Amino acid sequence: MRDISDAVTKKDHYEKVSGTARYIADYDVKDALTGKFLYSDKANARIAAISLPEFPPGYSCTGGNDVPSINEVIIVEKDMPVFPTEYVRYIGEPVLLVTGPDPDVIDELIAAIEVVYEEEPPVYSPEEASEIHFEYGYTKGDADKAFLEADEILEEIFHTGYQEQAYMEPQGVIASYEDGKVTVKGSMQCPYYVFRAVKHTTGLGDDRVRIIQTTTGGAFGGKEDYPSMLACRAAVAAIRLEKPVRIILERAEDMASTPKRHPARLRYRSAVSGGRVTAMEVDVLLDGGAYTTLSAVVLQRSLISAAGAYDIPNLKVSGRVAKTNSVPSGAFRGFGAPQSFFAVEMHMNHIAGKLKEDVLAFKRKHLVRQGSATSTGGIFSDPVILEEMIEKAADMSGYTDKMNLYGKMNGRYRKGIGISVFFHGCGFTGAGERDIIKARVRLDKSPDGRVEILVSNTDMGQGTKTTFSKVVSSALEIPMDDILIENPDTDRVPDSGPTVASRSIMVTGYLLEKAAKRLKAEWKEGERQLVEENYVHHENVPWDMDRFFGDAYPAYSWGVNIIETEVDMATLQPEIKGIWAVFDVGKPIDETVMRGQAEGGLLQGIGYGSMEKMTLKDGRIWQSRFTDYMIPTSKDIVNMKCEFIENAYRFGPSGAKGAGELPLIGGAPAYVASVENAIGRELCSVPATPESIMETLRKGGTE
């Protein structure tokens, strides 16, 4: 490769394209028992009694009383039981795990188990919830004063729905217990999260727990927290039965019972003076569901992103995660940011509309620049190239001409165009990388000169086996074929942190680059050499979690999306006509991998904005199959034009920043903005399905 961005064949290409790659369901483990859950069908109830049928030989059931150590699943907090023993808190909570050789017999046994529940009133609405999981807030400047002095004040409420990760490979693990050691293999993002959770639940020591990631068929955040829950449940049964236990979820149970994106209600109130937004008051309410999972960090990201890519001098931001009797919400690519960026982008569009200003010109005069204060009083210390990116996206799409033409159309088919401007903070919040994660990487050079990468970050399709290998190959100046990388196994790899938060390339990749440079300097022909690198923190304004103040992230990636649609006014079905995107991810490590991240993420964002509707009805997830939870198909999309402008980051490998989550964030606001432009009405919720567009048009009266 001449330049690190030049595409190469992916490390795992052939095994995947030929069907030889082994996913968790493809493992044939001798004597393995199948495990299936009995799920709670009550949203909030005391378990008064459980009566079991007679189990044939080889069949049994495992519950909370079988947990060898502590009946808690560690995610961030410890509020979730491995299996509940006293109360169930949502429909779909696994109460018992029934195991045995024949899945059909297991189904019959599950149907014959009687759980006597004493129901208590459930809470489904976050607005009506009396308990909250988390609450944060912060201020910047003097928002009250700005509101007093405002020419105009605009207030709006936005709603965003659930979004299901819909990875193509359902969740699954196989746990086994031999010679006092428990091993869990499975589809996962974060082997060391699972490691810590299983240790806590089983009470086993570091050398008695082993976690191995198997080739993972997509994750998108959905395999950040849930695999810890599944692994603990399977491990408890495997230890009790001293047999391997295999749990592979079916699609419907996966969709109905695993964490998904938090539904949100976002209230925006803005003060406008002299044609500028001088203050914003933002209140975010997330539906956290029954347990905390990752909600604290999701809310933090939501609030930090509340002002979008705009320099608003005065802010008053608050947010809560409500505790409800519904399936716990968790991680999904973007992690709280998609909700806020949808709201703030629509809000800025609507303010511009009220002021009769051009949307793009209005956004441009508010953009943050290098040296601007962040919402939390940190500093955007690296170059911000949004102006150049907007220019490029506008040129590519013919934005200005189309904007002048659209929005005034009559007739049945009406075109519209919309733009979104956004960022994603790369890595953990604040000094999390230094204080919590403490990443460590290792390179193991064998005497024959081949070098193995030992890290805990997983390739779940985003291509880290390839991009990590390129970083190391490029720094060592040895061929890609001499770089080895396997799926992480906690017996072999150090803890380089979880595969989350757009941190893998920027944090782990940078450590690998440093390790490779050192190995090159110390290279000894014919000898085995081990090189390790540990994370070193760089910061300007230290993050203070209590005050919610300082540099929230080590670096930021940026994006501009433009989407053009045509709406059939008879059916209110928008059809996408064009998609243009410009991203700043520092330096793409492999342009093909990056294009894949950009296009795949953007389509998930468009799905979020347009068709992916998931709702709760009486506490039950109402769309739990691909027949009713629609994700985009090849016919729902047109060719996208994605460009990357290089803007090297000092502390990333070859200048790379985080890139995984960014592309999802701008899809929904750009899509909905284009629909608004076409129909001439403001929209304030996603997904903007034809039905919801119709409701908005009705409320607004006839044209």
Partner 1 sequence: MIEFELNGKKVKSERPASHRLLDVLREEFRLTGVKCGCGEGECGACSVFMNGELVNSCILSMGRIRGQSIITIEGFRETKRFAVLQDAYDKTGAVQCGFCTPGMIMASEALLSRVPDPQEEEIRDALSGNLCRCTGYNMIVDAVLLAAKEGKGIW
Judged by the rule CB under 8 A, the positions of this chain that interact with partner 1 are 7, 9-10, 12-23, 25-26, 28, 165-170, 215-220, 250-251, 460-463, 592-593, 595-596, 599-604, 625-627, 631-635, 637, 639-640
Residue 636 buriedness (CB in 10 A; 0-12 / 13-18 / 19+): middle
In the complex, what is the shortest distance from the CB of residue 597 to partner 1, in angstroms, rounded to a whole number?
9
In the complex with partner 1, the residue whose CB is nearer, 11 or 347, is: 11
Helix spans in 398-544 (H): 399-405, 432, 464-476, 510-522
* Contacts with 494 (C-beta within 8 Å, 6 or more apart), sequence order: 440, 441, 442, 454, 455, 456, 532
* Least CB distance to partner 1 at residue 101 (A): 13
The sign of the torsion formed by the CA atoms of 409, 412, 417, 418 equals positive
Q: How do 33-39 and 245-248 pair as beta strands? A: parallel
Q: How far apart are CB 578 and partner 1 at their closest, in Å?
A: 13
Nearer to partner 1, 64 or 632 (CB): 632
Strand 440-445 versus strand 413-426 pairing type: unpaired
Tell me the C-alpha distance between 697 and 703, whole Å: 9
Kindly state the tokens that stand for 315: 């802010």
586, two tokens: 């520092």
Question: Could you tell me the smallest distance in angstroms from the CB atom of residue 12 to partner 1?
Answer: 7
Residue 618, token pair as written in the block? 């009486």
From the CB of residue 112, how many other CB atoms can be counted at a distance below 10 Å? 12
Amino acid 305 reads: S
Question: What is the C-alpha to C-alpha distance for residues 34 and 84, in angstroms, rounded to an integer?
Answer: 21
Q: Are strands 181-186 and 209-213 parallel, antiparallel or unpaired?
A: parallel
Closest to partner 1 by CB, 300 or 674? 674
E strands present in 430-522: 440-445, 451-454, 483-485
Whether a cis peptide bond, with omega within 30° of 0, leads into 121 is: no
Residue placing its CB nearer to partner 1 in the complex, 328 or 601? 601
Dump the DSSP string for 41-72: --SSEEEEEEEPPPPPTT-EEE-GGG-SS-S-
Residue 461 to residues 8, 167, 218, 596, 600: CA-CA distances in angstroms? 15, 10, 6, 10, 11
Using an 8 Å Cβ cutoff, are 579 and 638 in contact?
Answer: yes
The nearer residue to partner 1, 181 or 595, going by C-beta atoms, is 595
Q: Are 608 and 686 in contact (CB under 8 A)?
A: yes
Provide, rounded to whole angstroms, the least separation between the CB of residue 499 and partner 1. Answer: 13
Torsion angles phi and psi, residue 549, rounded to 5: -135, 140
Q: Taking the complex as a whole, how short is the minimal distance between the CB of residue 599 and partner 1, in angstroms?
A: 4
Residue 110 or residue 379: which is nearer to partner 1 going by CB? 110
Residue nearer to partner 1 on the CB measure, 14 or 413: 14
Task: Decide whether 552 or 640 has the Cβ nearer to partner 1.
Answer: 640
Between 603 and 668, CB nearer to partner 1: 603
CB atoms within 10 A of CB 57: 7
Q: In the complex with partner 1, which residue's Cβ is closer, 213 or 696?
A: 213
SS3 91: coil
Minimum CB separation of residue 596 from partner 1 in Å reads: 5
Contact 531, 519 (CB under 8 A): yes
Nearer to partner 1, 410 or 627 (CB): 627
Tokens 């009790």 — which residue?
240
Helix-helix angle 591-610:337-354, to 10 degrees: 70
Which CB, 551 or 599, lies closer to partner 1?
599
Q: Which is nearer to partner 1, 17 or 530 (CB)?
A: 17
CB of 582 to partner 1, least distance (A): 16
Q: In a 10 Å sphere around its CB, with 0-12 CB exposed, 13-18 middle and 19+ buried, how is residue 44 labelled?
A: buried
